[in-house]
Amino acid sequence: MALYEHVLLARQDVSAQQVEALVEQFKGIIEANGGSVPKVEYWGVKSLGYRINKNRKAHYSLLNIDAPSAAVLEMERQMRINEDVLRFLTIRVEELEEGQSAMLQKRDRDDRGERGDRFDRGAGGGDRFDRDRGPRRDRPRRDDEGTETTTGAEA
């Protein structure tokens, strides 16, 4: 059997319990057709990159699937019929990811307050006002003898 990662986007109007019921319904379709779903992750409500059917947010869920292709095709057919499903994406993978997905790891890191390299002062980023930007171009510069010299923009 083939291994798949499947991401499902459900409408923002439905509750988390309804999304969980949807996922269980699709999981049942996979299992009825000879497959299994070893891992299901609910990623929560997130903003969409663009509006889909007047929705600006959606419930995201990840399913790791070990099933024949016919089972996945039947699940996708049922998703196209269901009006609560905005989008879905199924990708065939060589092996399923163990542990938490990158989305849940990111959420856990954000909950603990770790912001990553961008806000980490110890990572060599420093303060943005620390760097030397060269001579200012809006006023004349004075050389060592006190005479005014012009910069390239004014010459």
Over residues 99-124, the mean pLDDT reads 66
Query: pLDDT tens digits, residue range 25-67?
Result: 999 999 999 999 999 999 989 999 999 999 999 999 999 999 9
Which tens digits make up the pLDDT trace of 20-29? 999 999 999 9
**Could you tell me which residue, 11 or 124, shows the higher pLDDT?**
11
Show Cβ contacts of residue 51 under 8 Å, excluding neighbours closer than 6 positions: none
CATH 3.40.50.1240 fits 2-94, yes or no: no
Domain spans in the chain, listed from the N-terminal domain onward: 2-94
State the Cα–Cα distance between residues 15 and 108, nearest whole angstrom. 22
Average pLDDT, the chain: 82
